[in-house]
Amino acid sequence: MIEVRNLVKKYGQQTAVDHLNFTVEQGKIYGFLGPNGAGKSTTMNMITGYIASTEGEVYINGHNILEEPEKAKKCIGYLPEIPPIYPEMTVWEYLSFAAELKKIPKGEREKAICNVISQTKMEDMNHRLIRNLSKGYKQRVGLAQALLGYPEIIILDEPTVGLDPKQIIEIRDLIKGLSKRHTVILSSHILSEVSAVCDYVLIIDHGKLVASDTPDNLSKLMLGSNSLELTVKGQEEDIRKALDLVEHIEDAVFHNSPIENAHEITIKTTGQEDIRENIFFALADGKCPILKMQSTNMSLEDVFLKLTDDKEEENVSSL
Ligand SMILES: Nc1ncnc2c1ncn2[C@@H]1O[C@H](COP(=O)(O)OP(=O)(O)OP(=O)(O)O)[C@@H](O)[C@H]1O
């Protein structure tokens, strides 16, 4: 449906988007997640043909966005970060104008506008001046404009920025409803939004894709390289001997404990095995009582923070 190949955007010396590769499949909601300045808007502007890439290609349903822009753009409805709305027009006038720009045949315009007005639940606002609408409704007008012409793909850049919590919930519900008929890509720096709305998450940082998977899998994958926190009583040597007998331990790091004759231990496990019981029995045999044992649960928020940490960490693109 959308194929992004080796996409690069440079502004002078600065690389805003750095060799991005990903594919978007039909009928899902994709979240494009990253901190401010990560390159989300720049990527969306290249996918939608607003700006040209420095290198790389974007294919929309097999059409290269730069070589066959008309065909490619016909498949896309775009709501940029700042919606292109005209405050002095009524909702109906603006959508008529947008329908004309999208080259929807004259005879089909009224029906198309009625449809998007109903989809965005704006039936009572048709004749209101856009300038007098609340921010939430202005966003709906932008969304209605993106939906005009039945594009298969809807791209929304930070669609809930600046809205109040009630408006945010309403817009999110509208977006969820869109996936029945459209493939949706939305960008956001809000984790809860992406977890609540998206089937699939692409995490971008400094212009690079650092992870892409379902929100659940991302948490699980991070758990794979994960750790247990223990407080154990006994001599370090005895504890180490006992732990040596347990499979799937990659690493055990001992720290001082405020408790006398005890150690705090961070155990890194390999694979997805739950080895807590094995650790329990091994330490019991070694006569080293466990005072505390806890597996670290990573939320999507932890994953995001770990992956987009400012420190140049190891390359995690293999996720
Ligand atoms: N027209 C431009 N000229 C020069 N630099 C730009 C331009 N547009 C974006 N940039 C830079 O490219 C980088 C990526 O910006 P972009 O707006 O794509 O990020 P973003 O992830 O959408 O951030 P935000 O969430 O703040 O909108 C930033 O460092 C930004 O300053």
CATH of the domain at 153: 3.40.50.300
State in Å: Cα 37 to ligand 1 middle. Answer: 5
Does residue 94 lie within any of the structural domains? Answer: yes
More confident residue, 299 or 291: 291
- Report whether pLDDT(315) > 90: no
Does residue 319 lie within any of the structural domains? Answer: no
State in Å: Cα 9 to ligand 1 middle. Answer: 10
Of residues 129, 119, 46, 36, the one with CA closest to residue 80:
46
Which residue minimizes the CA distance to atom 2 of ligand 1? 11
User: pLDDT category, 222, cuts 50, 70, 90?
Assistant: low
Looking at the chain, the whole-number percentage of residues with pLDDT higher than 70 is 91
Which residue minimizes the CA distance to atom 8 of ligand 1? 42
pLDDT value, residue 221: 62
State in Å: Cα 211 to ligand 1 middle. Answer: 20
Complex prediction ipTM: 0.95
Q: Do 44 and 187 fall within a single domain?
A: yes
Q: In the listed set 215, 235, 259, which residue is the last one of a domain according to the structure? A: 215
Q: In the listed set 198, 215, 232, which residue is the last one of a domain according to the structure? A: 215
Tell me what the pLDDT averaged over the chain comes to.
Answer: 88
Does residue 115 lie within any of the structural domains? Answer: yes
Q: Do 195 and 231 fall within a single domain?
A: no
More confident residue, 36 or 91: 91
More confident residue, 102 or 313: 102
Q: In the listed set 215, 241, 274, which residue is the last one of a domain according to the structure? A: 215
The DSSP string of the chain is -EEEEEEEEEETTEEEEEEEEEEE-TT-EEEEE--TTSSHHHHHHHHTTSS--SEEEEEETTEETTTSHHHHHHTEEEE-SS----TTSBHHHHHHHHHHHTT--HHHHHHHHHHHHHHTT-GGGTTSBGGGS-HHHHHHHHHHHHHTT--SEEEEESTTTT--HHHHHHHHHHHHHHTTT-EEEEEES-HHHHHHH-SEEEEEETTEEEEEE-HHHHHHHHHHT-EEEEEEES-HHHHHHHHHTSTTEEEEEEEE-SSTTEEEEEEEE-SS---HHHHHHHHHHTT--EEEEEEPPPPHHHHHHHHT-SS-----TT-
The DSSP string of 115-168 is HHHHHTT-GGGTTSBGGGS-HHHHHHHHHHHHHTT--SEEEEESTTTT--HHHH
Question: Mean per-residue pLDDT for 242-271?
Answer: 90
Q: Do 204 and 240 fall within a single domain?
A: no
- Report whether pLDDT(312) > 50: no
Of residues 293, 295, 289, 319, the one with CA closest to residue 307:
319
Q: Do 150 and 262 fall within a single domain?
A: no
Which residue minimizes the CA distance to atom 23 of ligand 1? 37
State in Å: Cα 210 to ligand 1 middle. Answer: 18
- Report whether pLDDT(181) > 80: yes
Q: Do 253 and 113 fall within a single domain?
A: no
Does residue 307 lie within any of the structural domains? Answer: no
Q: Do 166 and 271 fall within a single domain?
A: no
Does residue 305 lie within any of the structural domains? Answer: no
Does residue 237 lie within any of the structural domains? Answer: yes
Which CATH number characterizes residue 237's domain? 3.30.70.260
Task: Say if CB 167 and CB 139 are below 8 A apart.
Answer: yes
User: pLDDT category, 318, cuts 50, 70, 90?
Assistant: very low
- Report whether pLDDT(284) > 90: yes
Q: Do 123 and 229 fall within a single domain?
A: no
More confident residue, 199 or 305: 199
CA 308-312-317 angle, to 5 degrees, is 60
Does residue 236 lie within any of the structural domains? Answer: yes
- 105-109, 138-142, 191-195, 266-270, range with the lowest pLDDT: 191-195
Q: Do 14 and 112 fall within a single domain?
A: yes
The DSSP string of 96-113 is HHHHHHTT--HHHHHHHH
Domain that holds residue 233: 223-297
Q: Do 26 and 54 fall within a single domain?
A: yes
> Which atom of ligand 1 lies nearest, measured to the CA of 43?
18
Angle, in degrees to the nearest 10, between helices 165-178 and 106-119: 130
Q: Do 182 and 255 fall within a single domain?
A: no
- Report whether pLDDT(199) > 70: yes
Does residue 238 lie within any of the structural domains? Answer: yes
Ligand 1 neighbours by CB, cut-off 6 Å: 11, 16, 34, 36-42, 189
Number of structural domains the chain divides into: 2
State in Å: Cα 209 to ligand 1 middle. Answer: 15
Q: Do 131 and 253 fall within a single domain?
A: no
Q: Do 191 and 170 fall within a single domain?
A: yes
Which residue minimizes the CA distance to atom 16 of ligand 1? 39
pLDDT value, residue 261: 93
Q: What are phi and psi of 258, to 5 degrees?
A: -70, -15
